[in-house]
Amino acid sequence: MRLRGAAADVDAAARELARAGDDVGLRGETGAALQHLVGAVAGELRLLAAACGRAADAERAVGERRP
């Protein structure tokens, strides 16, 4: 269940990072670049959260097959 908790924590971090990126409010090229970077990192965190969730599902499935 640690993986499931990690998935939730990473997902929450991605949402918080996306919110922070929206709140920055910089204008021009610098603001656009920063928002792009924040969006990319948040996207990667979401992929990590999904991978943790799949790993937790696999761990549970293996545990259910053991006698």
Query: What's the confidence (pLDDT) of residue 21?
Result: 67
Query: What's the confidence (pLDDT) of residue 7?
Result: 76
Q: Tens of pLDDT along 3-33?
A: 778 778 887 887 887 777 666 666 778 777 8
Q: Which amino acid, residue 31? A: G
Query: What's the confidence (pLDDT) of residue 22?
Result: 67
Nearest residue to 39 (alpha-carbon basis) of 9, 17, 10, 16: 17
For residues 61 and 33, give the distance between their C-alpha atoms in angstroms, rounded to a whole number: 42
Q: Domain ranges in the chain?
A: 2-65
